[in-house]
Amino acid sequence: MPSLSSLLSVLSLSSLALGAPHVVKRAQTVWLAGDSTMAKASDNTQGWGEYLKYSLSLPVNNKAIGGRSARSYTVEGRFQTIIDSVASNDIVIIEFGHNDGGSLTPTDNGRTDCPGAGAETCKSTYNGQAVTVLTYPAYLVNAGKALVAKGAKVIIASPTPNNPWEGGTFSYTSPRFTTYGKSAVSQIGSSAMFVDHGLYVANIFKTLGKAKVDTLFPNDHTHTSAAGAETVEKAFVKALLCGGGGFLDGFVKNGTASVEGACV
């Protein structure tokens, strides 16, 4: 039977070990900032961000939320929450566009951006308050630079297309957000990269054909079913892999050839 003093010394040793400073190194995390096309849904639609975890060996924290634009995501402090939470080498995927268009007049809906590709500003009134509205790229550059300052890597993606078959024949033209996203990436610098998600989704939708693609949009031309979200997610991964994987190189479970679609 061990003596009391030897028991005590074992206890104190183990409490020392427990109390010893040790750094808990969590896995690099992928953060998603976007709108309903990326967000977790609660109806018969789904956002593509919910499927990304299946293709990556990193945890994915989907902070996308329906109805948001680059502007409202900023003004509501949602980028700031991610900026405050990211650790060095985390990867933040930003994808907006569906709620960024429209006009500030006669009524500002709180989402529309100031038109333009640069440092233009618009004076507006939202909810009875005088506000200054920035351009789409300005919001992304501000968020991107703050994330990079925290050591994160930023991926800016072009928005998903609305059903490109809705007019009867296939039609997809890159929206202005594609150019804006590329411009934002070049302003943020080498810790940012662009993924032409919209183009890759459009190409896969073209191959699938109208009958199939129409079934992936159960309610309207913007929001996909769960199956549609999976297709849209795979298009993102394909675009990423075709570009060499970028900041997610080594963390994608799938080989380039095994993912549907073709490199552009």
Ligand X SMILES: *[C@@H]1O[C@H](CO)[C@@H](O)[C@H](O)[C@H]1NC(C)=O
What is the set of active-site residues? 36, 220, 223
Helix (H) or strand (E) holding 234: helix 226-242
Please identify, using beta-carbon distances, which residue of 123 and 253 lies nearer to ligand X. 253
**From CA 189, how far away is CA 156, in angstroms rounded?**
12
Please identify, using beta-carbon distances, which residue of 65 and 237 lies nearer to ligand X. 237
Cis peptide bond prior to 106, omega within 30° of 0: yes
Residues within the interface to ligand X (CB under 6 A): 54-55, 234, 237, 253-254, 259
Please identify, using beta-carbon distances, which residue of 60 and 86 lies nearer to ligand X. 60
Q: Is 257 helix (H, G, I), strand (E, B) or coil?
A: helix
Q: Is 172 helix (H, G, I), strand (E, B) or coil?
A: coil
Which residues make beta-bridge pairs with 125? 130
Q: How far is the CB of 60 from ligand X (least distance, A)?
A: 13
Please identify, using beta-carbon distances, which residue of 54 and 89 lies nearer to ligand X. 54
Q: How far is the CB of 245 from ligand X (least distance, A)?
A: 12
Q: How far is the CB of 57 from ligand X (least distance, A)?
A: 10
CB neighbours of 152 closer than 8 A, spacing ≥ 6? 31, 86, 87, 88, 89, 90, 91, 92, 191
Q: How far is the CB of 152 from ligand X (least distance, A)?
A: 23
Which residues make beta-bridge pairs with 30? 60, 91
